[in-house]
Amino acid sequence: MEKTQKLLLSIVSPAFNEQDNIRSLVNEIENACKDLNGRFEIVIANDCSTDNTLTVLKELQESHKNLRVIDLSKRTGQTAALDAAIRHSRGKYIAMLDADLQNDPAEIPRMLELVISGQCDMVNGWRKDRNDPWLRLISTRVANGVRNWLTHENIHDSACGLKVFRRECMDNIKLFTGMHRFLPTLVKMQGYTVNEIPVNHRRRTAGVAKYGLWNRIFKAFRDCFAIRWMQSRNFSYDATEVCINTESE
């Protein structure tokens, strides 16, 4: 318990077939968080990779004592891997990012400061200047537009993998497949505040993108209806217990 209290931040990441990126990811995270004086952990969930991702992670653990590896027994998808990493984490605050190095770990400290200072409960990254092929840019713009239209949101980049938030933001959220793309909305539905800031976005230099135009658009459209239904059934209330003094005078 004492160790858990000392951990300020957990940096979590789902990984599938990222053997060529994972070393740099761990090193960049450690460099970005060096001012935390060791009060952080890196939790990477391997989603049953078919390359050497798990082997590389095991090797990295020998020299990176704050690296924890969660290995899923079967391929379950990005949402499940992310959820596993979050549920196994122990920090007071959680930062999440993708393992493909397109999210810049150097952004984490300033995002963390916004949450610690009380300006918001979650900071969502906005890839305002994206370094992606034009077809991917179009698919993302369409997906974001559909999400905001159907869920009555104004988040520029809900699906950005780079986020920092208080641990309690996730306490009552049950993630289903694809729901990680709606985390800002799900967090708002719990009564927490969400800010969005532009973040550096980098070109993928190794590995293969896991999403394309068609699976992004149609899945986003389908999932939006699930979120819209949840919003329509969401409720909040204040309640106090009424006590009658039955003691005899």
Report the candidate in 23, 10, 185, 180 with the shortest Cα–Cα distance to residue 108.
10
pLDDT of residue 132: 60
CA R_g for the chain: 19
Phi-psi bin for 152: left (phi > 0), alpha (psi -120 to 50), beta? left
pLDDT at residue 129, rounded to an integer: 77
Q: Is the pTM of this model over 0.95?
A: no
The answer to whether residues 153 and 130 touch, using CB atoms and an 8 Å cutoff, is: no
| The domain made up of 7-233 is a member of CATH 3.90.550.10 | yes
pLDDT in tens, 175-199: 988 888 889 989 998 999 999 999 9
Residue spans of alpha helices (H) in the chain: 2-6, 22-32, 53-63, 78-88, 108-116, 134-151, 183-189, 213-233
Give the pLDDT means over successive 10-residue stretches in the chain (249 positions). 66 96 97 95 97 97 96 94 96 97 96 97 89 59 63 77 96 88 90 95 72 59 72 77 71
Distance CA 159, CA 144 (A): 8
Task: Decide the pairing of beta strands 40-46 and 67-71.
Answer: parallel
pLDDT of residue 4: 44
